[in-house]
Amino acid sequence: MKLIKDFENFVKGKIEIVTDEIKDISENTKENIKNVRFVTEKVKVTVNSLDPLINSIIDFGNTTKMLIDSLNDQIKNLYIELSSLITGAKELSGSLRRIFSLSLKEKR
């Protein structure tokens, strides 16, 4: 009977140890959950504070793209106009040469 009583006390002692360890683990888990919630809330606040910055960067990018597209169009138009002017100047120069050469031939 003493052997059974000793075994019973041994088992009760082990159960108390396991119960205490489970309580400690439970408390640690609760604390970890609180920490995760705290960090999650901080992340949400940070993300929400970054949203306006990100939107501003997107708007800046879109504005810059529009500006570059506009400059590109203006440069293309300037190139076309300069090409036309150069072609016109060449034709005028050629016509003036022909006129001068004809007038020189008539004077001789």
Mean pLDDT of the residues in the chain: 93
- Which DSSP state fits 108? -
Q: What is the pLDDT of residue 104?
A: 73
27-62 per-position pLDDT tens digit = 999 999 999 999 999 999 999 999 999 999 999 999
Q: What's the average model confidence in pLDDT over 18-33?
A: 96
* pLDDT at residue 100, as a whole number: 83
Q: What is the pTM of this model?
A: 0.51
Per-residue buried b or exposed e for 80-101, using 16+ beta carbons within 10 Å of the residue's own CB: eeeeeeeeeeeeeeeeeeeeee
Take residue 60 and report the two structure tokens written for it: 């800046």
Please report the pLDDT score of residue 108 as a whole number: 63
Q: Where are the domains of the chain?
A: 1-106
Question: Which band of pLDDT confidence, cut at 50, 70 and 90, is reported for residue 21?
Answer: very high
